[in-house]
Amino acid sequence: MATHVKPATAQTPRRRTLGPQVPLEGDNGLYTQAWFPICMSNDLAPGEVKGYPFLGGRVVAFRGEDGIAQVTSAYCTHLGADLSVGKVVGNHVQCAYHMWEFDRAGACKKTGCGDPAPARANLFAFPTLEKHGLVWAFNGEEPHYDLPEWPFPEADLVVQTQEFPVPMAVDPWVICAQTPDIQHLLLLHKFEVLPGGIAREVEWTDHSMFYDIDGIWGGRHMQVRGGIIGTSIFFQTGTLDGRWFGFLAAFGLPAPQQSRLFSVFAGERTEDEVEVRAFLTECHEFETAIAMEDSEIAMKMHFKVGSLTKQDTTLARYLEMVRNWPRSHPSEEFIH
Ligand code: FES
Ligand SMILES: [Fe+2]
């Protein structure tokens, strides 16, 4: 005789308990208004233009003769040629098809045939910054927060920036959500907590959260203050076995539910730069080993806010911050 599972009762509800959800990047055509890395500074020599996927569309980054990097929409406003096929002339990017030229503000300054440049033929120029060895673009008209600074003057530091070759199939903010997830530091990463503790107090602003970690991981003593800025940046400074280092992880947003991973390590400059760089490589390997413990989970997860418990309080507050984050997509008509 066939048996079957009994239907749901009040004791075994069939409905899943869900918390308030966080919109995914690209939901309703909107993206968080945040700074996102587009490429490494090293990828862009003076006079170079290169194309990158961003926000589900395409942008170019170019560096004029003046050395200043700019991110704009990729498609020429004449007939849509991809400007990454073009070149940089002076401080303008020039389309390869009919030689229209655009300045850093995206304004068309010149046509190849000599007709006057149309007044309303501008590219979308993203607010652009170059910092920490990365070229950043802000999704929005006006940035509402700054990129973080190291606690020492940059001249006193050796900084190493690199891109992790494999993108991840989740939104940047989902990766960021690991940091306010204090439980997983203890349970998954098995941080051994020292008297300074982990996240005893969390410092919140309207766009960031930071806390202290004093713990042992992989036999090494990590005493740092780390946190999240916005929806795309992990930032941490402190010591590894007593020696200062800084670590910034920046997550690019090529398309909905995709992240590009960049990491930046900083160490105090000494006479022996080779030795400092060896230390930064060691810091990189240390942080990568921690991140590898998360990677399969992050790659395969289907992020959804379900039933949370008391120890999820910090995570819940971060998710609320992201849920309420301003969203827009002013470049939409330009980058597709
Ligand atoms: S398509 Fe760019 S100038 Fe014609
Ligand atoms: Fe983690």
Say what the pLDDT of residue 6 is. 63
User: Would 271 be classed as within a structural domain?
Assistant: yes
Say what the pLDDT of residue 5 is. 62
Amino acid in position 75: Y
Say what the pLDDT of residue 4 is. 65
Q: Which residues contact 20 (CB under 8 A, 6 or more apart)?
A: 305, 319, 320, 323
Say what the pLDDT of residue 2 is. 55
Instruction: Report how far residue 17's alpha carbon sits from residue 15's, in angstroms, rounded to the nearest whole number.
Output: 6
Same domain, 59 and 176: no
Same domain, 264 and 168: yes
**Any idea which ligand is nearest the CA of 121?**
1
Token reading at 309: 């418990």
The best mutation among 89, 98, 108 to test binding of ligand 1, ranked by most ligand atoms within 8 Å of the C-beta, falls on 98
Same domain, 38 and 99: yes
Same domain, 299 and 172: yes
User: Would 329 be classed as within a structural domain?
Assistant: no
User: Would 25 be classed as within a structural domain?
Assistant: no
Domain CATH code at residue 240: 3.90.380.10
User: Would 288 be classed as within a structural domain?
Assistant: yes
Say what the pLDDT of residue 299 is. 87
The H-or-E segment that residue 159 falls in is strand 157-168
Distance 90 CA to ligand 2 centre (A): 45
User: Would 311 be classed as within a structural domain?
Assistant: no
* Under-50 pLDDT residues of the chain: none
Same domain, 115 and 237: no
User: Would 184 be classed as within a structural domain?
Assistant: yes
Say what the pLDDT of residue 9 is. 62
* Model pTM score: 0.95
User: Would 211 be classed as within a structural domain?
Assistant: yes
Domain CATH code at residue 83: 2.102.10.10
Say whether 290 sits in a helix, a strand or coil. Answer: helix
Same domain, 107 and 192: no
Select from 87, 112, 138 the last residue of a domain. 138
Instruction: Report how far residue 265's alpha carbon sits from residue 247's, in angstroms, rounded to the nearest whole number.
Output: 5
| Residues in the ligand 1 pocket, defined by CB under 6 Å | 76, 78-79, 81, 95, 97-98, 100
Instruction: Report how far residue 242's alpha carbon sits from residue 223's, in angstroms, rounded to the nearest whole number.
Output: 8
Q: Is residue 87 within 8 Å of 49, Cβ to Cβ?
A: yes
Ligand 1 atom closest to residue 95's alpha carbon, by position in its atom list:
2
Token reading at 133: 């060895």
Same domain, 107 and 170: no
Select from 105, 138, 171 the last residue of a domain. 138
Q: Which residues contact 304 (CB under 8 A, 6 or more apart)?
A: 18, 21
Nearest CA to ligand 1 atom 3: 98
Nearest CA to ligand 1 atom 4: 98
Say what the pLDDT of residue 3 is. 59
- In which domain, by residue range, is 62 found? 32-138
The best mutation among 49, 72, 73, 76 to test binding of ligand 1, ranked by most ligand atoms within 8 Å of the C-beta, falls on 76
Same domain, 203 and 278: yes
Select from 138, 166, 200 the last residue of a domain. 138
Same domain, 130 and 158: no
Q: How many domains does the chain have?
A: 2
Same domain, 202 and 129: no
Q: How far is CA 50 from CA 2, 41, 81, 95, in A?
A: 64, 12, 13, 12
User: Would 53 be classed as within a structural domain?
Assistant: yes
The H-or-E segment that residue 69 falls in is strand 69-73
DSSP string, 227-270: EEETTTEEEEEEEETTEEEEEEEEEE-SSTT-EEEEEEEEEE--
Say what the pLDDT of residue 333 is. 97
Say what the pLDDT of residue 217 is. 96
The H-or-E segment that residue 66 falls in is none
